[in-house]
Amino acid sequence: MINILNGIYKLTLGEPEVLTPIKLRRTSENLEAFNHLIKISSPFTDEDFKISVSQRGCTVTLPIYEEERIYGFGLQLKSFMQNGKKKIIRTNADPSSDSGDSHAPVPFYVSTLGYGILVDTARYVSFYCGSSAAKEQKSRESELGPKGTTEALYKTVQSSSSMVIDIPVAQGIDIYIFAGTDMKDAICRYNLFSGGGCLPPLKGLGVLYRGYVDADQNGILDISKALRDDHIPCDIIGLEPGWHSKAYSCSYLWNDKKFPVPEDMVKALKDSNFDINLWEQAFVNPSAPFYDEIKDHSGDYLVWEGLVPDFSILQAREAFGKHHEKLVDLGIAGFKLDECDSSDYTGGWSFPNCTQFPSGLDGEQMHNQIGIFFQDTQYELYKKKNKRTYSQVRASHALASSYPFVLYSDLYNHRDFFRALLNAGFSGLLWTPEVRQTDSAIELIRRIQIVCLSAQVCINSWMIPNLPWRQFHYEENLRGELLPESERIALTLACKKALEFRMSLIPYLYSAFWKYKTTGTPVFRALVMDYPNDIYAQEVEDQVWIGDSLMAAPIFADEGNKRNIYLPEGVWFDFETGARLIGDQWLNEVEVPIDHIPIFVKGNSIIPIANPVEWINENTQFNLTINIYGSDISSFALYEDDGYSFNFEKGMYNITELQYNHNRLNLDEGFISPMKKYIIDQIILKGE
């Protein structure tokens, strides 16, 4: 075992494969950040790891302890704590069971004991998280006696003291151990090893509205006008497959019948302060202008008659990128990278596992890596233009934290969507529980409230031509039959309130993303990350930490208007009223009005709240109210830069330290004075 960075150890067992996520990565570790971290010893010795090698691959075992709790494995929608479970790291669209299959499975897990384990493989590796005991090991399950019901018989329990990692094909493996002062610190080190967190453009933290799939150029402009007429905050309009001349597979050319003059549409949208996001896949149709150029740099199987580029090699990235550079120059601010996952659960449309790629990758490995490669290819376009993007992607894997791409899914269970928000934080991923179809006004409001607590506010109305708060019933919306005026006004105002709340948080969120970039601290995370030894926090999967001071406990549409809320130890304040609460307790049967999101503030916190704006542009200034919760010493690092370029990498940014001490707020305005993006209007002592 060798120490490669502060708190990071590498152990090589057997003969690892040549093509792995770390060996193929195109990002670099945030070395500067590691220089400031505490040196931590490895929690394991070489002898703790056992490997066996056979024709089918290799198996590694290491200890897990009865008192520790295991989390992670990427974007898991169906479960939270992973003790006693089997997880297979296999990229798949819309998995319906808790198998480990996911849009973004990651061979990385973390423990409440303060360490993380990354297995450097693109194979469909299986993790048995204490669920399988070796012959010489006494199973804990055998001590529990017979069961009287099938539910009890098959209930997930940790029956063994070993983590068993089964890697197909490979004759060896590199294991990376991330040792931290606690669980969150171990995750931060993993994110910094991955390159640090991403920093979205300011506009990306606003609202993304994806338009009707059959809308033409005028239809998209009508949608943008309707949003402005309703005074709904919105920064980005997303176009779905209809913009392509051919979409399955993709031509990457405008449909000239529906979009005869795309330049005029882009200009009109930008004049109304909208950015534009375009849907696409990686599968290259024969009509694509770079088809011949990329053909020899693609796999030997087609998808929807389109080539599958091998983005791990330069020639494929260059061919794909040269054409997309024209779209970026046109003013396209981001892309939705769809269907780059596999399709074992959705009709088998993707390339087979036996596919061979020019780089030497096979189909199995490419399924787990194509999402990362696709992100990297598109991100490079924006880096070259000195423009930040905040795009979407439907597949990812290990080492993704520095990519400004947000995951989404065609699944739609609301609790699964929220659980994914928490699980994403364990593995350096970003997630949007996007809003699509709803069956009631209440469901629409509750879904919008929850998406406002995530990395990206996406209202995906690809199925309907009219705004959902004007008509949420699908068939009536298609026919243009809007809700009665009084209902429409009331629903619009309720949705607008939630979206304006999101806009008011942008300075707070932007500062949290800066911390994510420079320290690896996830912006959105589970309570257990901050309270790993709290037995209740270990199981709370319906509350979320936002930044360092806010905790939200939203309500789901099927919960009525009451829920139980857990407050960890310490002093808390109600975000709106400032009421003081003592932690280490449950608040039972809390009433939650339809227009309310329960949010709590950690004691001795400063929260900058902006007057909400309908859109953000390069000249936007935020008028701030500085809310202070608690009478003791507190501080907040308020980050600002130009909001859209990479000039911050050259030191062109400012951090204003807001410091509250003895009833006085002091401002240390850092490098640039006065502040450019923020105007402090008032200071309120919200709770004492």
Tell me, yes or no, whether 490 and 405 share the same domain.
Answer: yes
In a domain, 518, yes or no: no
Quick one: pLDDT at residue 516?
Answer: 99
Given 505, 527, 558, which residue is the final one in a domain?
505
In a domain, 541, yes or no: no
Q: Residue 356 has which token pair?
A: 């061979």
In a domain, 438, yes or no: yes
Condensed to tens digits (0 to 9), the pLDDT of residues 60-86 reads 999 999 999 999 999 999 999 999 999
In a domain, 178, yes or no: yes
457 phi and psi angles, rounded to 5 deg: -85, 105
Residue 143 clears pLDDT 50, i.e. is over it: no
Tell me, yes or no, whether 148 and 182 share the same domain.
Answer: yes
Quick one: pLDDT at residue 509?
Answer: 99
Tell me, yes or no, whether 475 and 493 share the same domain.
Answer: yes
Tell me, yes or no, whether 415 and 333 share the same domain.
Answer: yes
- pLDDT category, 155, cuts 50, 70, 90? low
Q: What's the number of domains the chain is made of? A: 3
Distance between CA atoms of residues 419 and 75, nearest Å: 9
Quick one: pLDDT at residue 145?
Answer: 44
Tell me, yes or no, whether 366 and 439 share the same domain.
Answer: yes
Q: Give burial (CB, 10 Å; 0-12/13-18/19+) of 336.
A: buried
Amino acid at 181: T
Would you say 455 and 524 are in contact if contact means Cβ atoms under 8 Å apart?
Answer: yes
Across the range 19-27, mean pLDDT stands at 98
Distance between CA atoms of residues 205 and 506, nearest Å: 7
- pLDDT category, 141, cuts 50, 70, 90? very low
- pLDDT category, 523, cuts 50, 70, 90? very high
Tell me, yes or no, whether 353 and 488 share the same domain.
Answer: yes
pLDDT-above-70 percentage for the chain = 95
Element housing 12 (H / E): strand 8-15
Tell me, yes or no, whether 436 and 561 share the same domain.
Answer: no
Which stretch of 263-272, 450-459, 667-676 has the lowest confidence by average pLDDT? 667-676
Instruction: Identify the domain containing residue 657 by its residue range.
Output: 549-688
C-alpha pair distances (Å), 179 with each of 9, 117, 352, 402, 478:
8, 9, 38, 20, 54
Residue 578 clears pLDDT 90, i.e. is over it: yes
Following DSSP, what letter does each residue of 629-663 receive, concatenated?
ESSS-EEEEEEE--SSSSGGGGT--EEEEEEE-SS
In a domain, 384, yes or no: yes
Condensed to tens digits (0 to 9), the pLDDT of residues 431-442 reads 999 999 999 999
Tell me the three state secondary structure of residue 318.
helix
* Strand extents, DSSP E, 371-412: 391-393, 405-407
Quick one: pLDDT at residue 151?
Answer: 55
pLDDT top residue among 670 and 370:
370
Please, what is the Cα angle at 29 between 23 and 33, to 5 degrees? Answer: 165
Q: What is the dihedral of CA 47, 52, 58, 62, to 10 degrees?
A: -30
Condensed to tens digits (0 to 9), the pLDDT of residues 87-125 reads 999 999 998 899 999 999 999 999 999 999 999 999 999
Q: Which CATH number characterizes residue 308's domain?
A: 3.20.20.80
Tell me the three state secondary structure of residue 607.
strand
Given 157, 173, 193, which residue is the final one in a domain?
193
- pLDDT category, 632, cuts 50, 70, 90? confident
Tell me, yes or no, whether 577 and 601 share the same domain.
Answer: yes
Tell me the three state secondary structure of residue 195.
coil
Quick one: pLDDT at residue 153?
Answer: 43
Quick one: pLDDT at residue 667?
Answer: 82
Q: Residue 605 has which token pair?
A: 């916190």
- pLDDT category, 671, cuts 50, 70, 90? low
Residue 134 clears pLDDT 80, i.e. is over it: no
Q: Which CATH number characterizes residue 57's domain?
A: 2.60.40.1760
Tell me, yes or no, whether 558 and 423 share the same domain.
Answer: no
Across the range 205-222, mean pLDDT stands at 98
Given 505, 533, 568, which residue is the final one in a domain?
505
Across the range 268-287, mean pLDDT stands at 99
Positive or negative, the Cα torsion across 471, 474, 478, 481? negative
In a domain, 527, yes or no: no
Q: Which CATH number characterizes residue 680's domain?
A: 2.60.40.1180
Distance between CA atoms of residues 342 and 101, nearest Å: 10
Distance between CA atoms of residues 253 and 244, nearest Å: 5
Tell me, yes or no, whether 46 and 83 share the same domain.
Answer: yes
Distance between CA atoms of residues 561 and 557, nearest Å: 8
Tell me, yes or no, whether 186 and 239 share the same domain.
Answer: no
Would you say 640 and 656 are in contact if contact means Cβ atoms under 8 Å apart?
Answer: yes
Would you say 178 and 7 are in contact if contact means Cβ atoms under 8 Å apart?
Answer: yes
Parallel/antiparallel/unpaired status of strands 654-660 and 665-668: antiparallel
Tell me, yes or no, whether 259 and 387 share the same domain.
Answer: yes
DSSP state of 465: S
Quick one: pLDDT at residue 662?
Answer: 75
Give the end-to-end CA distance of the chain in Å, rounded to a whole number: 50
Condensed to tens digits (0 to 9), the pLDDT of residues 312-343 reads 999 999 999 999 999 999 999 999 999 999 99
Would you say 531 and 568 are in contact if contact means Cβ atoms under 8 Å apart?
Answer: yes
* Strand extents, DSSP E, 400-482: 405-407, 457-460
Asked whether the whole model's pTM tops 0.75, one would answer: yes
C-alpha pair distances (Å), 486 with each of 482, 483, 489, 492:
11, 8, 5, 10
Would you say 603 and 595 are in contact if contact means Cβ atoms under 8 Å apart?
Answer: no
Amino acid at 186: A
In a domain, 537, yes or no: no
Residue 520 clears pLDDT 60, i.e. is over it: yes
In a domain, 513, yes or no: no
The pLDDT mean for the chain works out to: 95
- pLDDT category, 158, cuts 50, 70, 90? low
